[in-house]
Chains A and B, each alone.
Chain A
């Protein structure tokens, strides 16, 4: 299991033009050691900001984020090799025209020789049952196939942990189930944000984010109950 630690983390951005700063997140201190951690919360609550910290896509204004003991700020490249990051929209994730090419792009660093890279890509695609879709344009794939392809491209480099930002938000029920099944089978440590509360319940631990702060941290059932009660109170 990969340990992820946040120590007094604050993320702030400059407010439009002015000298004042707007706080998006924090202060947050937590230590994640579970195999499956879900993150729930309203739109704009800071879920994405929190997740983006975990592989250095965003950097903390103050405080420290470490993954397996490595500081995200000073050792970003090493952290990104450990942690794969998945976006809500797989089309933002897939930068190449076909899935195969995208998987090969992931493998460029580890496999310098083209033939071994080809074989490795083929093996990865077959492992996830996507061999028959590998040469199709990513635009021709269904939403679910596309998300699985994006996931495959992430897993090609064998990361230790995956951070997924609302991976099922754009998917219909069948594809959501397909994705969830694929995720359950993964040996990787998984931290994911979701609006699918059923999915959130499958974790071992759940964080509820509210106005940039961790409002609840604990067992998923309790977290979902808390989140529902809050939404109704504000309703």
Chain B
């Protein structure tokens, strides 16, 4: 069914790529700090040349982690149309340097976040979230928070895949232009998937109080 395609998630929500690069081995807090720093820089930096430099550094880190250009290109593909429109609009309403600064900032933050999820095994990410959620443990179980987030991360590429598959079967019946023939089945698939996942978690006692 949808599952074959679901592996092809790239970018921010892509599945981790095993590796032994320096980036892979860096502690989680360093990687998270890096993502945070890149994000904050987009607010602070006023000069588009600095933005370009930040973006360049992020791209270098991406290549240094052995993720490759292909993955980068594929992860950017869905974002590209938005960036082009945004560039045009900002150029028209402000000026080119402003547009460049904005788009380069988005690009840098997006790729940086993608590096984090691509080089960190889910288990390690979970431990990080559990650690970060500890201050709130009076109200929620940090393990539950971590599990919820990891299920969310895993589900996004699956849902994207479900839409792709449904679109294909709609196409096979000549209905690709009908939103009803695409959206409704995809939503139903997704709900069924959510129920199955919930069953699997419950069966393994993962939601049980410890």
A residues neighboring B (CB under 8 Å)? 55-57, 76-77, 80-81, 84-85, 87, 89, 91-97, 101, 104-106, 108-109, 114, 117, 135, 137, 139-140, 153-154
Contact = CB atoms under 8 A, between A and B. Distances in A.
Given A77-B208, A87-B200, A114 B154 contact: no
Given A91-B3, A97-B16, A105 B203 contact: no
A87 B201 CA distance: 12
B127 to A, nearest CB: 6
Interface of B: 3-4, 6-7, 15-16, 18, 121-124, 126-127, 143, 150-151, 154, 196-197, 199-206, 208-210
B206 A97 contact: no
A137 B123 CA distance: 15
The 8 closest A-B pairs by CB, nearest first: A80-B205, A77-B208, A85-B203, A92-B196, A139-B7, A97-B15, A104-B123, A137-B7
A140 B124 CA distance: 22
Contact of A114 (B18, B122, B124, B206): B124
Contact of A139 (B3, B122, B208): B3
B15 to A, nearest CB: 5
A3 to B, nearest CB: 20
Contacts, number: 68
The main secondary structure of chain B at its interface with chain A is: helix
B154 A55 contact: no
B16 A106 contact: no
Contacts of A140: 7
B10 to A, nearest CB: 13
B18 A87 contact: no
A219 to B, nearest CB: 30
A95 B200 contact: yes
